[in-house]
Amino acid sequence: MKLPSFFIAHGSPLLALEDNEYTRFLERLGQELEAPRGIVVFSAHWDSPEQLLTIDEKHETQHDFYGFPEEMYTLTYPAPGDPALTKRISELFKGNNLSHQPVLGRGLDHGVWVILKKMFPKADIPVVALSVDSLRSPKEQYNIGRMLAPLRDEGILLIGSGGLVHNLRMLNESDQPEEWALEFDAWIAKGLESWDVPSLFAYEKKAPHVRDAVPSYGREHFAPLFYAMGTADGSRKAERIFQAYQYGTLSLNCWKLD
């Protein structure tokens, strides 16, 4: 069973409580996918210069946010870990000479559990979380994802969780998207659909409105796209299967990479 990979926007942590078009899409997506043997998530909320990965047998739930309704802090996603899958990932990294370190007891951050709680609410599928390095070049990020491509043939679902337009300092009260956000997403979509890797790797110089869409303090949310793309390097097919916006400048999108 070969599974597709995905880039999934995790938006606001409030998605865990909300019932809207995007949360219903995530629920359907989880139901429509063949049940994976395990799930591997590159999370924007684990930014590290060294490649890290969880090795827990059972995960705690991180509430790594503040200022939200009290109910948010009672939500849990007690998915099991999979030390054997962690070992398999470590072998793939080692075979490609990538320095990495398993981490015990970290738990799942909201970049991981918010989307999985919608997609797989039973929390019964093993999860391994991986860090990203927002300071690596897009090519390096892509190549790390490519190291894990064999897992797709082993029943493992690979996800990059972040946000393509993610500027929390420019949010507004309307869900009507700003024109510059639409233009940036359209430029990214064109590059993905044609798998124009050279242009996408140079997005910081070529993409319109890039300083607004991917501010210097928020690059970690864009990085998971390249990790996810790398996992699909063999086929190089991308399809946007959902697009919406919250607060005018928070892009909620899902790209299927198959």
Quick: pLDDT tens for 39-73: 999 999 999 999 999 999 999 999 999 999 999 99
CA atoms within 13 A on the CB side of 228: 34
Q: What is the mean pLDDT of the chain?
A: 96
* Domain spans in the chain, listed from the N-terminal domain onward: 5-257
pLDDT in tens, 98-134: 999 999 999 999 999 999 999 999 999 999 999 999 9
Provide the token pair at 183: 């233009």
State the Cα angle at 45 between 131 and 59, rounded to 5°: 75
Q: Which residue has the tokens 């995905």?
A: 6
- pLDDT value of position 169: 73
Q: Would you say 159 and 227 are in contact if contact means Cβ atoms under 8 Å apart?
A: no
CATH no. of 5-257: 3.40.830.10
- pLDDT value of position 215: 94
- pLDDT value of position 172: 79
Q: Is the dihedral of CA 245, 246, 251, 257 positive or negative?
A: negative
pTM of the model: 0.97
Give the DSSP H/E element, type plus range, for residue 1: none
Task: Tell me which residues of the chain have a pLDDT lower than 50.
Answer: none
Q: Is the dihedral of CA 14, 28, 119, 192 positive or negative?
A: negative
- pLDDT value of position 167: 87
